[in-house]
Chain A
Amino acid sequence: AQRVTQPEKLLSVFKGAPVELKCNYSYSGSPELFWYVQYSRQRLQLLLRHISRESIKGFTADLNKGETSFHLKKPFAQEEDSAMYYCALFTSGTYKYIFGTGTRLKVLA
């Protein structure tokens, strides 16, 4: 079965603290993983994708096929990082996204 799991509904950290938002997936094919973010009152937008292996807004995520994980990390959280974060699996066979349940990140001053 194709599934994306984000175990934390809410993650609260203090400004300047490290952040790790967990994501695990289940997919028999070759996975294409993404993180989407939704800031307050804004639309869902792409944060980063595993293929590009880039850092966006200080966030990075490494695809670990052995652990079937794609955790999102940032060494020093900022208040403007507060948002809803969704891990998503793109299935190339059916050409669609499967989303995790999302994690709300709150960065406290």
Chain B
Amino acid sequence: EPEVTQTPSHQVTQMGQEVILRCVPISNHLYFYWYRQILGQKVEFLVSFYNNEISEKSEIFDDQFSVERPDGSNFTLKIRSTKLEDSAMYFCASISGGENTEAFFGQGTRLTVV
């Protein structure tokens, strides 16, 4: 069964460094998302991406964040200058589109900013 895959599973970075979190959505899906979950808190929407552009972003998704779909398969989230409060689990998800609105999630990347 096709899966959304995320790499790395765990990333430790120093405050102020740039990180890139990678996702490979399911190949025929059209909608892509990043969510994050700070430990003990809820799953929060960051950004949605459709037709090679951002369709919506939350207030969390400030200028430090960017997303790209560089090659038609990968979907990346970049945090330009990480802060301690960026430490969280980051989930990628994709939806095929049309009537099927089931979201398929990756296993997540745990980002730890030290």
Contact = CB atoms under 8 A, between A and B. Distances in A.
B103 A94 contact: no
Given A90-B101, A95-B55, A43 B42 contact: no
Interface in A67-109: 86, 90, 92, 94-102
Interface residues of A, number: 21
Contacts, number: 52
Given A44-B93, A97-B45, 10 more contacts: A32-B101, A43-B105, A45-B105, A94-B56, A95-B31, A99-B35, A99-B43, A99-B44, A100-B42, A101-B42
A67 B49 CA distance: 33
Interface of B: 4, 31, 33, 35, 41-45, 48, 50, 55-56, 91, 93, 95, 101-103, 105-108
Contacts of B95: 95
Interface of A: 32, 34, 36, 42-46, 49, 86, 90, 92, 94-102
28 contacts: A34-B102, A42-B107, A43-B4, A43-B106, A44-B43, A44-B105, A45-B105, A86-B43, A90-B101, A92-B101, A94-B48, A94-B55, A95-B31, A95-B48, A95-B50, A95-B55, A95-B95, A95-B101, A96-B56, A97-B45, A97-B103, A98-B45, A99-B42, A99-B43, A99-B44, A100-B42, A101-B41, A102-B42
